Structures are given as structure tokens and as C-alpha cells.
Amino acid sequence: MISFDSEKLQETLLDLQRSQERENQLRIENAAILEGVSAMAGANNKRQVFNSLLAVLRKFIAFDNAIVLTRDDEESDLHVLMSTVANLDFNYWQVGSTFNRCINGECIALYSPKDVEEFKNKSHELLTICNSSLITGVKISSGDAMIILMSSEKGHFTSSCRRVLNRFRPLLERAIIDIDYRERLQSLVTVRTQELTHSQQRFKDFARTVGDWFWEIDTDYNFSYISASHVANHLIDKDNIMDIFDGHDDFKQQFCEQLQKDQSFEDLEWQLVIDGKEQWLSFSGTPYYNKRGLLLGYRGTAKNISIRKKRLFDLQQARQQAELANKAKSQFIAMMSHEIRTPLNAVLGLMDLLSSSGLENEQQQWLGQMEQSAHLLLTIINDILDLSRIESGSFELFNSNINFSDSITLVKNQLQPEANKKNILLECEIDESIPEYIYADKNRIIQIMFNLIGNAIKFTNVGSVKIVTTKVENDIEVSVFDTGIGIADDALNSLFNPFHQADGSITRKYGGTGLGLTISQLLIKKMKGSISIKSELGVGSCFTIRIPIQPAIIKKEQLIEIKPTKLTQSLNILLAEDSPTNQLVAKLMLERRGHKVTITNHGEEAILKLLQCHKLFDLVLMDISMPVLDGLEATKYIRKLNIDTPIVALTANAMQNDQIMYQQAGMNGFLAKPIRPEELDKMLIKYQNQSMTH
């Protein structure tokens, strides 16, 4: 019994001793953990944290080298975060079944690492120092992590080492998290440092390149920073920014007012003279504040804009010279137009009178050829005048309510004789969906169609010309098809250039100035429309225009034109004209129509004649360009005398803005030279109607 109790006592004492040893071991391990935590807390970088961890582990586990691996997600490979082997710092490790077990919390001792999947592809140098290994893993907030303890001795790590490593898992987790955090923080600091360095270098490069002067001032306007002491050869040697503007009080006040607004400002220009040379500086600035919103001062730039100012001045001078040259060109063309139209008026007028004087057939043919040549000359003058006005920007559209279909039909009917002469079929299709009336410039629509259809007939020798008019969305589309000579591809790009023909020989063969298409394109652009062409050499062409539809602005019933009826009422007409030839032509044309004509040679004679007996005259035809007193001044004086006799301008100055000027002077109408019989008849019928109503 005593023996049994003695054995029991011995077992109890042995258990107590083992328990005390375990408690002592735990006390030592806990002290080591606390020491390790304390060491890591005082570490300055991730290497010190890593070394502190290894120092604690080495007290309980013998190993030669260690590696810490991490990854951000479950799909990625592990990469080396820290290592005691320098040449392993950038190695990547694939994750197999063994590593997956470790990541999920197991602690595994490998007695032959080279036979494990994860180690098979590693370098010979690594396998030489890793004949056995102890591995475990932990979960961290940024992903997964593992630590590998390596020994060059085979079978080195025992089950006791595994238990110790498991006991140190909290310390491992804390250390790896700390290392990972410091790694990420260091990477972020490195990136931000590089960005800041690049930004600073970029700022320096920009500052050096743009040649600006950077400044910063406090709330008292004293300089706290100046990037350079010279700007535009002007020395900045003042402590206060306002002092540099001494002698320029207006600018100083303006600059001060801008600062006091506490708002950003740009391009405040300062003019100064240095060494007899004009200099310009442009100031821009903005206020800046502290974190509490307290104003600390202002910062900005001063830019030397002297070269820009000079260029701007040169551009303004060049523009003024160009405008003067353009005005001179327009005046010259208008003058030449007047000088050519004036004798042409006599030529056409006399030919018109001569045609009804009983000529023989052969003489009538000669006269017809002369008249065609005169009309061609008039067309050329009109084209050049139109182009000059459009290019100079003095051209405006004069819209009214028009019947678009009638305008197309009018052109077709007038060009039908030309098509008949060449045995060409001329067809016209107008879709019913086109509005009957639109708001547009009738004369310019007709001019465009004359150019396009006339060209199609001119360049077509066999076949047909077809005009197709349709409504496409909110546009009117007119296509002119022909079976003519066509246009080569390389000539299409320059087809709309002024004075240019697709082929130089065409000018000699077919005639023309080459301005028709140019003017048509410019007019269509003015109407906010478009023109396009498809052509094949030797097959034919198709010109297509699209013009936006502007609805008529009054009711349809108000649009019906009242065609004038020819009357036989005789008018007493006072003609003011300085050219004897034009006096003769106008008198003959008027007397042939049954009217009485009294001739005066200039505006002053016309005024005297009206003062004597203005009630005897039903109409005054007033030339504009006359000696002694021109038609405009004469008209103004007549209206001041309260003489209301209708006055119609009779002139070769045929611009639309001229007509507006004549109307403002008090004239009632306009008749262009050369005088066309149909225009003359239309004007006379209007005033015959007025005469009959009085």
C-alpha cells in the first residue's frame, strides 16, 4: 500500500514538474513574443521588422534562411516580400496543393522540398540551401501570406518545431501585416515622390520655356517669391509689387482693384517703354488661402506679350490694307462695269431699234449675231461683278415669296431654243411634294439654274439634259443630268475654282469665263445649301444642289402675281442723261412706245426744268453719274422741294446695295443699263397705271 502511494506521489510530482516546465516554456515564449512585438513596434523599416521576427523565431527554431511570400488575390502567384537570400527577392512562386494547405492554416515540415510541386522548378542554388523546410501561412487584409524557414540539413525540422511555429502564428501575422503595410506605404511614397519630382521638373521646364515671370505676394502686396529679377528687359528691384508700376498710375489703380476683388484675373495688360522701345506685359493672378480660409496673398504670372502685340498690330494693318485693296478692287470693277455698260447700252439699244427697221434677212442674221455677242459681253461683266461682290462680303440675298417650280420652268423654257438648236432632248420633272411657294431669292435661284442647265446644254452634243426636282427631308433637291462630255476625276477638285476650266481647250472650244460654277457654289453656300457632282469622262455628268426650305411668310392667296396689262397711256418723261448717244437711244426707245421725252444733260438742268413745270411730267428717268450735279444729289434736292414726281434711276451701277442707296435718296425705282426692252416695258406699265389712277 505504501509502495503504491509512493508511486502515485512520484507520478504526481512528475506531472507537476512537467506542468511547471510547460508554464516556464510558455512564459519564455510569451516573453519572446512580447519582446518581438516591442521590437517590431520600434522598427523604422520593413527590414527591421523582418529581422526582429527572425530573431524571436531563432530562439526556439534553428534555421538558415527565411522567405516571406504574399499575394493580393487567390488567382495570383506568390511573390517574395522579404528574404534573407538576396537573389530571391524577385522570385515568383506558383501555388500548389501544399501551399494551399499552408495558406489555410496548416504548419508543414518538408523533409525533401525538391520533390514537392512548388519547389520542382526552382533554381539549383535555392535547392542547395533548402534541403528541408518548415512552412505555414496566414490570412491578412490585403490577401494571403506565407513564411518558409529553410535549412541546408535534411530532416532538420521536427514536430516540436511545427508546434512552436504554430504558437508563434499571432506574431507571424502581426509581423507580415506590418511588413506588407510598410512595403505598400513605401511604394506609395516612392510613386508620389517620383510624381512630385516629375511635376517639379515639368514646372521648371515650362517656366524656362514660356518665359513667364512668376510672382507671389502677401496681403500687403510685398513679394514673397519672384522667379526672375528681369522681365522684358525690365529690372524688378522693388520689395512691393505696386512700386514697380510707379509712373503708370492708371495701371497701378487697375491692378490694385483686381487684387481687392479677391478673384482670379487674366491678361491685365501693362504698356511701358524701355530704352525707347515699346514693351507689353500681361499679368494674371489668383488669391490663395490657408486651411481655415484666411487670405494669405496672391500669386500669378507676368508674361511678355510684346511680340504678340506687334503681330496683332501687323495683322490689323494687313487687314486694313486688304480691306482697302478689296474696296479699291470693288470700286474699280464697279467703275469698269459702269464704263462698259454705258456704251453697251447704246449698242444694245440701237440694235433693238435697228431690228425693227425693216432689214433684209441676211442683215437681220448679222444683227442677231451682233446682239448675241453683246449679250455675252454683258454676261461676262455680270459674272465678274457678282464674284467680286461675293468675295468681298458685300453681297446679300434678297428673299421674297417665290414659286420655285415656276422659276425652274422659266429657265427651262428660256433655254429650250438652245437645246433645240443642238437637237438635244430637254426634260423637266418636278415632284408634287415641293411647296408651291417658299421664301428665297428668286433672281439668284434662276441664276444658279441658268448656270447649271446652260452648262449641261453647252457641253452636251448628243442625247439629253434632264432636270429632276424633288423634296428630300426639309430640302429641295435639284439634279441636272446630261449625256455630255463628262469630267475627268483629276479635274473635279478644281472645278469650282474661279477662272478655271476642267480643260484649257474647253475654253477655246465652248467659250465662257469659268465663273458660272464658282458663283453658283458661293450663292448656294450663302443659302446654307450644298452642291455636289458625279461625272464620268465621255459618259456624262450630274450636278445636284440642295437648298433648305424656308416657308413663305404670307398666305398663298397673297402670293398670286398680278400680271401687268399693256396700256397705251402716253407719259410725259423727263430724261436726265449726259451721254448724247444714250440720250438718243433712250429717246428712240421711249418714243417708239408712244411717250413724250424731254432731255436734260445733268442734275441741275433737271431740277430747273421741274421747278418750271414739274406737274407736266409723269416720270423722271435719272442717270446717276453726271457732271455738274449727279443723279443722287439732284434727287435729294428735288425731294427737299416737296416735288413728288416719280424718279427712276437709270444707271450702269447695278449692285443691289446701290439700289438701296437710290431708294434712300428718294428714288422710286431702278432701271439698269443696258436697257432691256422687257424691263423697260414693265417699268413703264407700272407708271402708266399710276398716271391713270390720278
| 98-107, 232-241, 286-295, 403-412: range with lowest mean pLDDT | 232-241
pLDDT of 8 > 60? The answer is: yes
| The pLDDT of residue 558 | 46
May I ask the CATH class of domain 322-392? mainly alpha
Residues 6+ apart with CB under 8 A from 234: 244, 272, 274, 279, 281
| The pLDDT of residue 195 | 78
Helix (H) / strand (E) containing 238: none
| The pLDDT of residue 324 | 80
Instruction: Report the residue count for the chain.
Output: 694
| 41-50, 78-87, 267-276: range with lowest mean pLDDT | 41-50
Q: Pick the residue with more confidence: 182 or 586?
A: 586
pLDDT of 174 > 90? The answer is: no
The tens digit of pLDDT for each residue in 609-653 reads 998 887 889 999 999 888 889 999 999 999 999 988 999 998 876
- End-to-end CA, the chain: 165
- Give 394's pLDDT tier (boundaries 50, 70, 90): low
Measure the CA–CA gap between 196 and 614, rounded to whole angstroms.
Answer: 92
| Fold match flag (17-186 vs 210-310) | yes
| The pLDDT of residue 502 | 46
Per CATH, domain 17-186 is 3.40.50.300 = no
**What integer is the mean pLDDT of 175-187?**
72
Which CATH number does the domain 572-691 belong to among 3.40.605.10, 3.40.50.2300, 3.30.70.120, 3.40.50.150? 3.40.50.2300
| The pLDDT of residue 40 | 61
| 33-37, 57-61, 277-281: range with lowest mean pLDDT | 33-37
| The pLDDT of residue 516 | 74
The tens digit of pLDDT for each residue in 490-526 reads 777 777 766 555 444 444 455 555 677 887 888 888 8
- Give 567's pLDDT tier (boundaries 50, 70, 90): low
Q: Pick the residue with more confidence: 433 or 506?
A: 433
Residues 6+ apart with CB under 8 A from 635: 603, 622, 647, 662, 665, 666, 667
| The pLDDT of residue 693 | 59
pLDDT of 39 > 70? The answer is: no
The tens digit of pLDDT for each residue in 445-479 reads 888 888 899 889 988 999 999 999 999 989 999 99
Secondary structure of residue 106 in the 3-state scheme? coil
Residues 6+ apart with CB under 8 A from 173: 138, 140
pLDDT of 563 > 70? The answer is: no
**What integer is the mean pLDDT of 346-371?**
73
Q: Which amino acid is at 468?
A: V
| 37-46, 428-437, 574-583, 616-625: range with lowest mean pLDDT | 37-46
- Give 390's pLDDT tier (boundaries 50, 70, 90): low
* CATH number corresponding to 210-310: 3.30.450.20
| 94-108, 186-200, 211-225: range with lowest mean pLDDT | 186-200
| 227-236, 320-329, 521-530: range with lowest mean pLDDT | 227-236
Helix runs in 356-393, H state only: 361-392
Phi-psi region of 111 (alpha: psi -120 to 50; beta: other; left: phi over 0): alpha
Q: Pick the residue with more confidence: 381 or 244?
A: 244
pLDDT of 556 > 50? The answer is: no
Partner residues linked to 15 by β-bridges: none
Domain boundaries defined on the chain: 17-186, 210-310, 322-392, 400-548, 572-691
150-176 b/e (C-beta count within 10 Å ≥ 16 → b): bbeeeebbeeebbebbebbeebbebbb
Architecture of domain 400-548: 2-Layer Sandwich (3.30)
Q: Pick the residue with more confidence: 293 or 351?
A: 293
